[in-house]
Structure formats: C-alpha cells, structure tokens
Structure 1
Amino acid sequence: MTVTIKDVAKRAGVSPSTVSRVLSGHPRISVETSRKVKGIMEEMGYHPNIMAKSLVSKTTNSICIILPKPAEELFSNLFFMELIRGIVTQASRSGYDVLISSGANEKEELDAVSRLLKGRRVDGAILLYSRKDDAVIDFLQSNGYPCVLVGRSDKYEDMLSVDTDNVMAAYDATSHLISMGHERIGFVSGPPNLIVSRDRLQGYRKAIEEHGLESRPEWIVEGEFLQDSGYRAMSFFMNLPNRPTALVVVDDMVSFGVLRGLNELKFKVPNDLALVSFNNIPLAELSSPPISSIDIGIYHLGYTASQVLIQSIQSPNKETGYTNRFIIPHRLIVRESSMYSPKK
C-alpha cells in the first residue's frame, strides 16, 4: 500500500501542510520538526511524488547533460566519462538528478533539449562542447533557460561557462617540446568547428611564432577526437620528406592512435617522434611509453559546471560579483613520450 503525506502527518502528529513544508525546505519549519518528519518518512518508506511536487514548486530538481554526438561514440573517450562523473557527483550532493541527452546531429540535439526544457522535465542544461554558430546554444540563450557551457562561446561572451585556458595550455605543451630542442613540431588537431580545437591550435602557433620556428601547413592535420584520427595522421606525417620530430596532439585518445600507428610503422616514441597531449586521462600514464599530457582538471570542470548551473537555477537573479567564465587551472605532466632531445 502506498504511503501518503497524510499517513506521515498522522504518525508525526503534525498537519499534512507541515509535511509539505518539510519537503520543500520551508524556512519556518524548525530543525527539530524537520528531522522528526524526515525520520518518519524513512521509517514508513515514503517517497514524495516528484511530478506533483514540481507542479507546485515549478522546479524538477533535475538537470540535463547535452552530449555532442551519439553516446556510443562519445563514451569511447574517457574524457567525457570523467567530466560526467564530476557533474553527477556535485548534482547528487545538491539533491539534483541528472538526465543525459544526445543526438546524431545538431538538429536532433536541438529537438531533444527543446523537449526536455519546454516540457519542464529539467531545470537547466550543461553542454559538454562549444561549436562555432551553435543552434543549441542559440536556443538556450534566446529562451533564457539556465545553462552552463563546458568551453567558451564566441557569440555569447556573457554566457555562464567553465573552461580551461586552452590557448595557454597548448602554448605550454609546445614550449615544452621546444625546450627539449625540437624545432620541427607538428600539430594533430580536432574538428575545426569546435572552439577547443581552434584555441589549442592558436596556442601552438603562438609558441612556434614567438620562438622563431618554422611552421608548415603540412605539419597540421585535422581529425576527430578518436583514436583512428591519430592512427591515420601517422601514415601522412611519417612519409613527409621533411617530417616533424615532435607532435602536439589535441587529445589523449588521439595520442593512443598516434602510438599505434607509429608502432606499426616501426617508429619509436620519443626517439623518432616525441609527443605531448591533452587531458591526462588515467590511461595516459599506463600507455607504452607513458604520455606527457596537459592535466586540465577534467573532474573539476564537470563538478564546477554542475555547481554553477544549480546556483543559477536556485538564485536566477542573484548578483554574485563573479565573472560568468570560470577557468580551471592546467598543468603539464611530463612523462617519457617527450623526454628526448633530437640530434642536430
């Protein structure tokens, strides 16, 4: 038999309206009464009707994560798994449930997030990507829905966002290779429509220019954030008549593809080609050889994004005094893949 608010109220010796106020966190309910009622709820196995509660409070205590591509492809990259872990951990601690939304293309993503927000199934959204001219971001901003972007937006500079300084991170990665004596340094990039790809490419170019090194178009290859992109890039790079001696790679998963391609071609890392990557997922340390990588604090990116979104939901008009853009510090973790100075 289903336990109701009236059953809880009768056992606790209070009115049903008092039980409702306990559920909503009403400030006039004493700590003693709140503890007593919640204890009886637990004893009786009472679970509040979330749908009914949301109709009264006009909130759902749920947020959604908008994935940038079909889930089966995305979850092959441990970066997103760790990012989502940070989001879910903080949301759970704040009493929020998390829904995940994805689509095969931008239209499907837009349809999915529109259904969730217009249908009042979630209170806000976290986007795990930032694209140039993004229709999903346009929809969220034009309708005033609470949202946080992991990354940054060129179009909406005042949009709530949590990010790494990707320009400086790539600058630091490239500068490390230069400090090891490399002068011919290539770059394996991600999709050009993603702002993270553009920012990391910008940081690489800035370091090359400031150190007076040569930059060649054939030393820059674009792809996806997948192992296969790194694997395919090696067939191209290692057949160049004047190939790089080192690479900056946009993502650790892409680096695994680079290592696989080099191994099949009988080249050694770092002796034949040194590399530095991004994200510092746990497997980077366990690869052969261990990969030097920029640690961008993936878990903290997700945790902070969730925290910022929930604060904006609970206090939509509150002036925090802080910038809308939160930057998580990065650091270079040097391992064997870059610890080699090329012969002059």
Structure 2
Amino acid sequence: MPKKLTIRDIAELAGVSKSTVSRVLNAKQDVDPATREHILKVIEEHTFVLDMAASKLAGGRSRLIGSLIPSLAWPLMPEIMRGISEVVAQSPYELILYSITHEQVHHDKEQRDIISRILHSNLASGILAVFPGPSICYLTELYEEGFPVVIIDDRSEPTSVPWVSADNRLGAHAATKYLLQLGHRRIAHIQGPADYRASQERYLGYCDALQEVGLAPDPDLVCPGGFTPTDGRSAASHFITMPNRPTAIFASNDHVAYDVLAAADEHGIRVPEQLSVVGFDDIAPSSYSRPPLTTVRQPFYEMGKQATEMLLALLERPSTQRRLQIADSPYAPEIHPKAPQLNQMHSPTRVRMSTNLVERSSCSPYKGHIDC
C-alpha cells in the first residue's frame, strides 16, 4: 500500500510551510493564488485525503460540526439541510449528522445520551440542534458552560441558547386574514400538539385575525389535532359533519390539511366550492394535492442557513466571548430587522424569520362577501 501522506509531507513536496498548507485546506483567503493552486495540484497528484477526525483548526478546535436532527424522513428536513450544507461548504468545517429516531424524540434521557456521546468523542466543536425537544435543558446547560450550540425551532419556549425559527403567529394571522378577506366568518382551526410552542403561536395568530374584525374565537370551531399524517382526520370529520359546519378550515400544518381534503372528499364536500382549506409549512407535496393547497410557507432553507452562520460565528470567538460577540464574526448572519441584536449583553439571540402565504386552489370566496 502507498504511504499515507500527512500535511507535513504535502508541505515538503510543495516546498511551503505546514501552516500554508493548513491555510489552504481551511479555505483561508490570505494565501497567494499561485501558491494555493500549486498546493492543490500537489494534493491532487498524491491523492491526499485529510483525516477530518484528527485534523484540528487553530486553537485545537475540531474541524467537525455536529448536527442533531430528527428523522430525515420529515418533509421539512431536506430544505433545512440544504441551507446548513451550503454554509458549511463555504467554511473550513465539515458536518456530521446525529439522527434521533421517532421514539427518541420523546425521551429526554436518550437524547441526553446521544449528546453526551458527541461530547465525549471530542469530534464536534459545536452542535446545531434541529427541533431538539426535551433535550433543550441539557443543551442550555452546555451553552451556558461555553460550548457552542444553536437551535433551529423547538417545541418549547426558547432559552438562552441562540435560536432560529419562523414567525408562526404572524403566519397563522396571514392565513386567517386571507380567509376573512374571502368573506368567510365560520373559520375552524385544527390545532397542532398542545405542548408545542408552534401550535400555541398558530392558535394565537388565528385568534388575532378574528378579533381584528370583531369576531370572538368560537371554542366549537377549535379542535385538537397534531402535526403528523392522519392526526387531523377525526377533527376534520367532526367539522364537516356539524349541522352548521364551518365554511373554511385553517389546519395546523399541511399534513393535517391533507386530512381535511380527504375527509371532505369522503363526505362529498367540494373543495374549494363548499369548503376552503389552508395549511401551514408548504412542504413539497402541497403544490400537487387535489386541489393544490393554499398554505403558509416556512423559510426552511433560510432557517438552516442562518442558524449555521450563527454557529460558525460562535466558533470563531473565544469561549468567554461566545455569548456576546456573534455579530462581529465574518460568519455573522443577516438578522431579520425585528430580531434583537446578536451582541446585546446577556440578551438571548432569537431570530424569527418571516413566513409568506402561498395562494393556490383550495380556497374560494364565500357568498355574501364582506370586506375586512
């Protein structure tokens, strides 16, 4: 077998210092272009492959970022991962994924064990946690001890950990307001899981829009549901078979909206002629449902991108400054205008990203339209 080359070997073959080779491998820009090209040519000729687990950045940091994610089967994950991957690809870091099974999502101890294994392996310099659920308390402890952590959305209220999410309340407000503008007044809402912060915020946005036009939320038009397939079937059937059924339904997410479409079809209710339906998320199948679903688009790609930029900004700072000086890093993200400044003393970094309503064919005006 050919000898496994090291950075020292590449430096000797290229006639440069080890630090220069290291800077090229770490994608630093302060290397002469001709020297960079020469080093890359030597690397290619000798089929050098960097050992990412053994390689370290300046200060002894690992070159790896750990991403704690739910199942990749979740329909929102491809876009989040695309945003994460694009940012990491432009940095000196590489990404390693730690997937949490459906069963582990609901067990704090199992998630803590996974995070402990990440830390004890000394592989990851920081953690990007996507919908971490019960492990938020443990992640908060790690962050407050100086370990870089950034969270993308979560089911609970944000803590001191830097956090990125969509603006669920404004998104739900926009969906409900749209139905009101179409003349609907009996607008039902199928909620998400009661213990999810996103569910609570979407319900509040629904109430906000109703109250703006002088309508009090009707408890009879609100039913519990969920976020996974078939979670909304019971509530949808209940609303559709009511003697004075609603003329529109705002579903907690697109999966629940599909349940409404299926229930309407089973009961001979035409959408949108007899029932208007709005979802939330804008996952890929929503443009192909029958009819194509009007829904609120979450910026999944942008959320992944922004959270990764925040984590890279933390990694660029000494541990004593990580909670206070993210904004000065070359990786500092562009912050939503209404978000708090990243370098505010002791203020948790919370970035709420804008959603937007995607109008398709699942809604139509109600007879006797009333302007809002």
Q: TM-score, normalised by structure 2?
A: 0.81
CA contact (8 A) 2:150 2:311 kept: yes
- Structure 1 pair 44–179 and aligned structure 2 pair: CA distance change class (3 A): same
Mapped to 2, the partners of 1:136 and 1:88 lie a distance apart of: 25
Q: Deviations over 1:220-252 (max 9, x none)?
A: 222331121122322222233333211111211
> Which of the numbers 186, 189, 201 marks the counterpart of 1:187?
189
Decide whether the 8 Å contact of 2:53 with 2:63 is kept in 1: no
Tell me whether 1:326 sits opposite 2:351 in the alignment: yes
Distance 2:292 2:28 in 1: 53
Residue aligning to 1:244:
246
Identity %: 29
2:80 to 78, 83, 93: 83
Q: Deviations over 1:301-336 (max 9, x none)?
A: 111111221122123533527332223222211111
Aligned with 1:99 (options 96, 102, 115): 96
Preserved contact between residue 230 and residue 261 of structure 1 (Cα < 8 Å): no
Q: SS of the counterpart of 2:61?
A: coil
Mark the CA change 1:28 to 1:255 in structure 2 (over 3 Å): closer, same or farther. closer
Aligned to 1:154, which of 153, 157, 160?
157
In the superposition, relative to structure 1, how do residues 190 and 127 fare at CA in structure 2: closer, same or farther (>3 Å)? farther
**CA 1:180–1:115: 2 relative to 1, 3 Å:** same
CA–CA separation in structure 1 for the residues paired with 2:78 and 2:158: 27
Secondary structure of the corresponding residue to residue 192 of structure 2:
coil
- Opposite residue 320 of structure 1, the aligned amino acid is A
Q: Give the paired residue count.
A: 338
CA distance in 2 between partners of 1:325 and 1:148 (Å)? 10
Secondary structure, in 3 states, of the residue corresponding to 2:231? helix
Greater mean deviation of Cα atoms: 209-218 or 28-37: 28-37
Cα separation, 2, equivalents of 1:193 and 1:246: 25
What's the RMSD between the two structures over aligned residues?
A: 2.7
TM-score (norm 1): 0.87
Q: Is the 8 A contact 1:130 1:196 kept in 2?
A: no
Who is 2:267 aligned against?
Answer: 265
Q: Name the SS of the counterpart of 1:159 in structure 2.
A: coil
Cα distance, 1:34–1:47 mapped onto 2, change above 3 Å: same
- Give unmatched runs, 5+ long, in structure 1: none
Residues 1:155 and 1:56: Cα distance change in structure 2 (over 3 Å): closer
Q: Which amino acid aligns with 1:226?
A: T
Cα displacement (A) at 1:175: 0.7
Whole-angstrom distance in 1 between the partners of 2:88 and 2:29? 22
Q: Is the 8 A contact 1:106 1:136 kept in 2?
A: no
Unaligned residue ranges in structure 2 (runs of 5+): 329-340, 343-348
